[in-house]
Structure 1
């Protein structure tokens, strides 16, 4: 009896930990992402090339400040506080996204069915990729035109 109870508790604990991990990787709502982008702007970001939610409680953001410095910062999703920061001299590239352009990209992603945002990435070629989940928590990956913010491709994992 005691072994059964111990095994049952261990199974329940492991199952709960796995459920928490799964939920942590489900991305964040648009409101949460907007709040974190505001915190990033308050920190000094003016242009972005990548951001994402990590482990459900960290917002990792990379981009540039007004002076051209390359910024790489991890922030707490709960309060926007800085957990880790790195700053290097640099220059803002033309292909990076301004805050307004990030907002346009996220608007386009929402119109395509993305409700929970996991990450956004723009590469040197100007291709935007946004990953996250729809309302049914099916994983979506969107590719978007950098100039028009038109969704060019949607891939859905079943």
Structure 2
């Protein structure tokens, strides 16, 4: 990753521009940016989610449409435009998160000190939200899937 980031920074420096979106995934994105991207995902057709992430300058989303089709999509961080998509017939699991539940999970994570978001991952029992706190330290917040109660907070050096 460091090698890739170094090459990316060198290329951006040579081009004379460094956008915040190009570097955003190094330290996550703000809630405002994530809300904008989630609106793009909703416009695309997502109704339920199990994984969101920011990686390599892209917003990666996995979830379902209302009709049950499983979606795996990458969008551009800067404008939410579609970069890649995969679809397959599936069924929406009960444990998947609605847009409102994603917001609720992010609210709980922010209450625990999350400032910049890198990812969210949900399964039958819990939700993990990864990112960076106000002190720029890596933080992982684990929530109970049903109650959204905080089960644990882990800080990385």
Shorter-chain TM-score bucket reads: 0.7 to 0.9
Counterparts of 1:31-50 in structure 2 under 5 Å?
A: 31-50=32-51
1:92: Cα distance to partner?
A: 0.3
Match of 2:100 in 1: 100
1:60-139 → structure 2 map (5 Å cutoff):
60-123=60-123, 125-139=124-138
1:119–1:130 contact (8 Å) kept in structure 2: yes
Alpha-carbon spacing, 1:22–1:81, altered in 2? closer, same or farther (3 Å): closer
Larger Rg: 1
Report the Cα offset of residue 22 of structure 1.
Answer: 7.4
Equivalent residues of 1:96, 1:126 under 8 A apart: no
Structure 2's unaligned 5+ residue stretches are: 1-5, 11-17
CA distance in 1 between partners of 2:145 and 2:35 (Å): 20
In angstroms, what is the RMSD of aligned CA positions?
A: 2.0
Q: State the TM-score, normalizing by the size of structure 2.
A: 0.85
- The alignment covers a number of residue pairs equal to 142
- The whole-number CA distance in structure 2 between the counterparts of 1:39 and 1:114 is 23
| Stretches of structure 1 lacking an aligned partner (at least 5 in a row) | 1-12
